């Protein structure tokens, strides 16, 4: 290799290094812009998540109010008449903790009602747990008949069938009214 060829090669390498250095700087600037855009996207997503959470909470509140107000006006569950309707009851006893959306009482019977905007099959297990924990949490009602129900604006058929098969009442919205379904077998504790 001649001196001139070597000088040309070194000059070429220096030019390439400068171009690479410029590209690295441009990439760094681009990465900073991308990071800023990602932070803005994260901020917007957080805002959307909060909005959606608020919508879900609002739907739950609306659903609970609808069924609570309906039961206050007509305090029957199927053919069972109740005297009192209570909303949003929470109880801790030892390691057991439950929240009951709606609680109906008369002198000999109690009904607990789990309220869902849209009922799902896994909600039946939640109602089962609350049903079986009730008398542990409220031993004062040990001699009362205990009934369970799920109230929802929408039930898919599998969920509705499972609830009825287990002997729970099913409360559905029917226009401005509620409709109560039950099977011949009724879950009583």
Q: Are 116 and 151 in contact (CB under 8 A)?
A: yes
**pLDDT: is 171 or 30 the higher one?**
171
Question: What CATH number did the domain enclosing 80 receive?
Answer: 3.40.1350.10
Q: How far apart are CA 92 and CA 72, in angstroms?
A: 26
Owning domain of residue 150: 67-181
Asked whether residue 84 carries a pLDDT value surpassing 90, the answer given is: yes
Q: How far apart are CA 115 and CA 85, in angstroms?
A: 14
In this predicted structure, what is the pLDDT of residue 85? Answer: 95
Largest CA distance in the chain: 111
Total domains, the chain: 1
- DSSP string over 59-119: HHHHHHHHHHHHHHHS-EETTEE-SEEEEEEEEEETTEEEEEEEEEE-SSEEEEEEEEEEE
169 domain-assigned? yes
Q: How far apart are CA 158 and CA 27, in angstroms?
A: 55
Look up the pTM and report it: 0.67
30 domain-assigned? no
161 domain-assigned? yes
169: three-class secondary structure by DSSP: strand
Q: How far apart are CA 29 and CA 21, in angstroms?
A: 12
Asked whether residue 6 carries a pLDDT value surpassing 80, the answer given is: no
10 domain-assigned? no
32 domain-assigned? no
Q: How far apart are CA 115 and CA 123, in angstroms?
A: 10
Asked whether residue 34 carries a pLDDT value surpassing 50, the answer given is: yes
Q: How far apart are CA 67 and CA 12, in angstroms?
A: 80
90 domain-assigned? yes
Which H or E run includes 180? strand 177-181
**pLDDT: is 138 or 184 the higher one?**
138
Asked whether residue 180 carries a pLDDT value surpassing 70, the answer given is: no
Considering the chain, what is the average pLDDT of its residues?
84
In this predicted structure, what is the pLDDT of residue 42? Answer: 75
34 domain-assigned? no
56 domain-assigned? no
In this predicted structure, what is the pLDDT of residue 165? Answer: 93
């Amino acid at each position: 290799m001649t001196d001139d060829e070597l000088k040309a090669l070194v000059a070429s390498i220096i030019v390439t290094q400068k171009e690479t250095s410029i590209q690295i700087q441009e990439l760094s600037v681009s990465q900073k812009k991308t990071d800023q855009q990602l932070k803005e996207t994260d901020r917007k997503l957080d805002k959307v998540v909060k909005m959606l959470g608020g919508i879900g909470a609002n739907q739950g509140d609306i659903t609970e109010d609808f069924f609570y107000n309906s039961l206050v006006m007509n305090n029957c569950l199927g053919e069972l008449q109740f005297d009192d309707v209570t909303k949003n009851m929470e109880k801790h006893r030892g390691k057991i903790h439950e929240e009951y959306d709606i609680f109906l009482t008369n002198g000999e019977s109690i009904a607990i009602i789990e309220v869902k905007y849209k009922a799902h099959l896994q909600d039946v297990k939640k109602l089962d747990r609350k049903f079986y924990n009730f008398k542990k949490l409220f031993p004062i009602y040990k001699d009362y008949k205990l009934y369970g129900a799920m109230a929802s604006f929408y039930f898919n058929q599998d969920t509705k069938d499972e609830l009825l098969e287990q002997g729970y009442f099913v409360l559905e919205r029917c226009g401005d009214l509620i409709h109560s379904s039950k099977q011949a077998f009724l879950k009583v504790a």
